[in-house]
Structures are given as structure tokens and as C-alpha cells.
Structure 1
């Protein structure tokens, strides 16, 4: 367990209790993988005076105990079922019972709903928001985490190869390719997908978050494939744009995006501001005259969540550190025509970034 990292945050903030609501942070600190369940905002880790308590719905009690063993107390709650070690009431009441106010409390409010916030503030009073520090806590990856991300990358590579092969079949649909990609990831050992797979042909590729449809690929369509496996709760993220036919316009845009990505990757090392990585990519695309068609940030952190700290954007104040894992994914999107995006997941080092490529990206 990594509760010593939470101790450090609490010492810095001068707080006696922490309430962790983020599923990713709870998994990171305890090993309980609430992030893969579908029970909503219903779990908390309460850490007071170095005593951890995992609070879960009664339906999750047995699984939570199996995950954390006897190292952490598991308290389940229920409004209707009362039994041994079951708290009568809801999540907030169970949290307040454990905190036993008044105490100085830190909570990751970024992961709370508005109703939770209002009720929590009413019952606990003042608090310190520790959301950003919890996110930063997970940003620098341990060696074991890097290996799990690499394994997720290997699985993603197998799926990307399947995607690149299947789009050569005239008449195949976006939905069919996405299904084959997802099946490959499962067959290769992924327990889930980091996000819903994106497969977009032709004019649909101008939509960065396109949902695969029954559109079939045509002779001169390009195809954007954005996918990522989740392996043992760690994510990967990769995008490739495949070009069919001989469209000089698509090739021109592709070369601009590729150059932008390569220059951004070249800037990555410990101590560099994440905004500088974004600027390096954006500068290339703007110089080519397509700045207004690059409509998103250049990247983001990857780990237990597919989007996490740091932000690789024009306004980011985050500074890269060794063993952070980020994406680099510039793109150009021409509505009604096509879009191009190229993305790699990379590991930050003290010198040159380690690029975890999936399939070949050079024309």
C-alpha cells in the first residue's frame, strides 16, 4: 500500500483526516479496484490519524475485504439491510461517523457531486481540497506501474494491427472494425478498454470523438483509429491515421501532423513545462496555416485513468518529471472532408522520452 504518500500530503496541509473519493486514488492507495465497478459515487477511503477505513455499499463488502485483506478496515453501509459491521445510513453519514468532527479534514472535492459537497460541508464544516495533490501523487509512476502500462501497450499494439489490416477490406464498417479491435484486446488479456474505441472513416475522421457507425470504408478514405487497452487497471492510449488511395491532400496534412508530433516528442524531458510540449506541436501546425483546425490540447497523463495529471495543454503550469507517462496527439480536422491524428504514449526521462509506439506511423 502507498498510504505513506497520503501521510505526506496530510503533513503538508496540516490536516488530521483525509476523505478520498476518486476510484483511481482509492485503488492506488489500497488495491481496491472500485474504478472497474458500476456503483456510482458510492465509495470512500477515510484516513484519520493514520488509520484507514474503506467505506463501501454492502453489496461490495465481501469483494472489498478480499482485495484489501486485514490491512484496512472495511465498513459497509446500507439503509435497508442491517447486520454485523454494516452501518445504517448512507455514505456521507458513514464518513462523518468515522471522522468524528471537529477535525481538520482534506477531501478530493473534484471527484464529488454537488449534492455530496453540500451535504458534506453542512455536516463537517470547513475542509481543504486535496484533489490536485492526490492527482499529482499518482503522476510519477513506479517501475511496476510502468511495466503494466507497457503490457497494456503491447495489447493495444496487437489490436491496432488488426485494425490496420481490416480497414483494407472494402465494405467493412467502422463498427465492425471497432468490434474486432475490442475482441482482440480482450483475447490478448485486457480486462477492459481504457475508453470506447474510436474508428472513423473519411469525413467522420474530422470528429475527434466520433462514435463508430455503420459507415463503410471507401477506396480513397482515410481511417482514424484511436484505441487503448486497460490491463490490471492501467491504461494505454494510441491513435493512428491510415491512408487508403493516393490523396495528396490527406498525405500533406498527415506529414504536417507527424512533424508536429515528432517535434513535440523531442521537447519532452524532466523539468520541461507541459505547455512547452503543446507549443512545439502547435507551432508546426500554425506555421503550416492550419492552427485553427487543431482544436484540442496536445496530450495528457496516462495511468490508472486514461486522462490524468499532467495536462499537456497551452495553459498548463504542470512541469514534467521523470517517470511521468503522457500522450502526444496533435491533430488537424477539416470538417466535411477528413481529419488526421497521430498519438503515442511516452515515458518522461531525464533526457530523451521513451516512445511506446504501436504500429508504424511514417508514410
Structure 2
């Protein structure tokens, strides 16, 4: 069943005659369209509504009709006004299905004043969390590109480079070998900077004995990858590394179809807590990966998500000691009925 048919089934199941789907990730998922606009469903028909600046790109979408809007009447087939004016002309139903996760305050105000909103965000999130073969192939390729970039960065490490320079090498390598973009700004951290989970690369140069951390990922044909590697050069950091590695491996071993995501988080957290570093594990154990770098499911202590076959998730426990160093190890993996498929990027420990 095509993705549009699955979306139509959601509307039919909820007895909704019309729907408005916003958000670039959703538009790409349903239409492979990368641009501004809205996907509208009314009376069993899908329409892509776009601003005039996107009309050429939208013309490449063959699966739905396209409607264009612009502030002035530049052509007979163009709706005069903004997106809201265009939606008013197309959507006449009282009840409208909306993925409310992708509405800014202004849009939500317009929709809620004009229509009675039925939230379908949970259904869309669940649909997107289960990857098909095409999606899995793209994520695998993004992983291969990421691996090449990490290997290149490792080869360039010496005392004459700083964090920004290595981040630049990673980004350039990913694009050179096939990435359309990086999935998120590349994190490169040396020494004490590794204690910041979302460190922004600086001019800090590599020193002898530094812990080195890369958190990087390529984006390939719309799909993301996520990998964190920590390299240690002293015995204190190696001890912490081994604790984090054990937590990660035990959590990965627990992953399979039907398991609660919160239980996976608990497995990793228990190892780190038992070692006496529980208060230094300051984020969730993982997250879903796909068109977005963070999407459903959430692998956290409070998550209500249940893992299902062909979900793509990360497992990334960490320990962060401010002023000293941090260690995080992250793999992207595919959930199966049995043990997960780990999409390796490089050796974990140098």
C-alpha cells in the first residue's frame, strides 16, 4: 500500500472527510517533495498547495494535483493570497485532520479558528517510524558515507588540528562521497569539551592524552544517519569507556520487536548506575532516525513507545564529567523480530 493510501486509510478510519498535512518532513515522506506548502486531502482527493516560488519544484510531483498561491493575481490558475487563503478556498469541511506537531502558533490559530481539528499526529508518527525497504537502503547508504567521513577525520588527527578543522573535514568528506547534506551540525570535541553532549566545535587544538569525540551523520536522499565515536588515550577515560560500552551493548542486546523503549533505556541506565555514574548519564538512551534525525520512537525512561520491526533507532548512553571529559558511544540499528541489525560505522575504540 502506498503512503498516500495509508494516509487516506487514517482519514477513513477516523471518518474525516478533509485533512491538512504540514511540515517539510511529512511532505517529503508522502510525496518526496522538498519545499514549502501543504498536502490537503478532501473528498478522496489529494492536492499539494504551494507558494509560487515552489511551483516548478512541485511540478515534478506526479502523484497529486498542485495548486499555487501568490499575493497578487499573476495567473488565472493561481490563488491570490497566502497559504491560509488557499486553504479556505479548498477545504470546506467543518472537521479537519491535522498533524498538530507541524503547526506553528500562527498556523494553529488559523486552523483552530476556522475548523474543528482532529489530531492525527500519533498515527502519522507511527506510520513514519516503520521503515520500508527503500528507506532502509537510504539509511544504510547514509551510514556508509558517515563511516567514510569518520575514517578520514581519524587519519587527520594530530596536534596541528582544532575541532573546527576536523568538523570541516568530516562535512566536506560526506558531501564529496555522496551526501546531499549532513543530518545535523557535526560535533567534534577534544579533551574537556567532550563533557558537553551537544558541544559546538571551537578553535581548541588537540593535545596529547585528549579524549576525542565525534557525533556525526550524513543525509542521503532525504534520510539521516547518526553515529558517535569516542577515542580515549588515557587509563581513566578508558575505564569510563568500558562502562559506557557495556551499557550500550546490553541495551542493544535487549532491543527487539515488542519491547518497550523505556525498558531498553532502563537496561543501559542500570549498568551506569551500578558503576556509580548514574547522575552523569544526563540524556535519554536513544531515538528514532529517518527523515528527521530525531523522530519516533523515543528511547527514554518515560517513553510509552513499543519497538516494532523495521524501526530505525539509536542506542547512545554516555557519561559526562565536567572539566575532565565525556564518553558517548552511539550506533544506529534496525529493529527486527530477534537481535537488531547494527549499522556499524567504524571501530568503537582506538
User: With structure 1 as the length reference, what TM-score do the two structures score?
Assistant: 0.94
Secondary structure of the residue that 1:127 maps to in structure 2? strand
- 1:43 matched to 2:43: no
Q: Name the structure 2 match of 1:252.
A: 239
Among 109, 115, 135, which residue is 1:118 paired with?
A: 109
Q: Name the structure 2 match of 1:178.
A: 167
Structure 2: how far apart are the matches of 1:268 and 1:354?
10
Q: Name the structure 1 match of 2:137.
A: 147
- 1:331 matched to 2:325: no
Among 87, 91, 97, which residue is 1:106 paired with?
A: 97
Structure 1: how far apart are the matches of 2:281 and 2:68?
47
- 1:299 matched to 2:290: no
Structure 1 contact 201–217 (Cα < 8 Å) conserved:
yes
Q: Name the structure 2 match of 1:14.
A: 15
Q: Note the 1:181-220 alignment, pairs <5 A.
A: 181-220=170-209
Structure 2: how far apart are the matches of 1:191 and 1:81?
35
Mean alpha-carbon deviation: is it higher for 338-347 or for 353-362? Answer: 353-362
Structure 2: how far apart are the matches of 1:96 and 1:132?
25
Q: Name the structure 2 match of 1:315.
A: 302
Shift of residue 171, structure 1, vs aligned partner: 2.3
Q: Note the 1:254-293 alignment, pairs <5 A.
A: 254-293=241-280
Structure 1: how far apart are the matches of 2:269 and 2:275?
10
Q: Name the structure 1 match of 2:47.
A: 53
Structure 1: how far apart are the matches of 2:285 and 2:98?
30
Secondary structure of the residue that 2:168 maps to in structure 1? helix
Per-residue CA deviation, residues 67-122 of structure 1 (Å, 9 max, x unaligned), is x12x31111111135214211111122112211133x2110111111111111111
User: With structure 2 as the length reference, what TM-score do the two structures score?
Assistant: 0.97
Shift of residue 248, structure 1, vs aligned partner: 1.6
Structure 2: how far apart are the matches of 1:84 and 1:230?
39
Secondary structure of the residue that 1:138 maps to in structure 2? helix
Aligned-residue CA RMSD in angstroms?
A: 1.2
Secondary structure of the residue that 1:116 maps to in structure 2? helix
Kindly tell me the number of residue pairs found equivalent between the two proteins. Answer: 349
Per-residue CA deviation, residues 269-302 of structure 1 (Å, 9 max, x unaligned), is 0000111111110000011111111111000001
Gaps of 5+ in 1: 35-41
Gaps of 5+ in 2: none
Per-residue CA deviation, residues 309-339 of structure 1 (Å, 9 max, x unaligned), is 1010100111111111000000111111111
- 1:164 matched to 2:158: no
Shift of residue 27, structure 1, vs aligned partner: 1.2
Secondary structure of the residue that 1:258 maps to in structure 2? helix
Shift of residue 8, structure 1, vs aligned partner: 1.8
- 1:225 matched to 2:217: no
Structure 2 contact 215–229 (Cα < 8 Å) conserved:
yes
